[in-house]
Structure 1
Amino acid sequence: MTRRVSIFLVALGVFTIFEWINLGFNLADGHETSFYVIHGVLIAVNIILGLALGAVGVRGWMKGRA
């Protein structure tokens, strides 16, 4: 994996985590519980995916240095 791809994956992971946490804080009150459950699951899954992307990017960056 090239360094450019590694940097892209890390940046994408950071952006994904930031964006979904921001969405979680911006959810307005007044919705049904199912709305919050579904969005909570979406937020959790996307944060996990962002962490995985960041980890793959960091691992690729470290292998590229060796």
Structure 2
Amino acid sequence: MQISRKIAGFLLALAAFMIFEWINLGFNLADGHPTSFYVVHGVLIGVNIVLALVLGAIGLRAWAKSPKRPPV
């Protein structure tokens, strides 16, 4: 199965958004919360960044392999 350039572009945009959003959340966490709050959010940030990297890799491979013009 081949992924279209449109879907590949969407995956790349989604990966970039996820990385930006979760890193931004990490910097915006305020002080004064219990340690468990930071542990849970740290795990969420880590998992979502890994997911974003996987989606980005899939998107890059699909973008490179897809033809520039769709078949007629």
How many residues in Structure 1 have an aligned counterpart in Structure 2?
66
Structure 1 residue runs of 5 or longer lacking an equivalent are none
Aligned partner letter, 2:26: G
| Bigger-Rg structure (1/2) | 2
Q: Which runs of 4+ in 1 moved over 2 A?
A: none
What is the CA RMSD across the aligned residues, in angstroms?
1.2
Question: 1:65 deviation in Å?
Answer: 4.0
Query: Is the counterpart of residue 64 in structure 1 residue 66 in structure 2?
Result: yes
What CA distance in whole angstroms lies between the structure 2 residues aligned with 1:10 and 1:52?
10
Structure 2 residue runs of 5 or longer lacking an equivalent are none
Higher helix share: 1
Counting aligned pairs with the same residue, the percent is: 65
With structure 1 as the length reference, what TM-score do the two structures score?
Answer: 0.96
Question: 1:63 deviation in Å?
Answer: 1.0
Aligned partner letter, 2:15: G
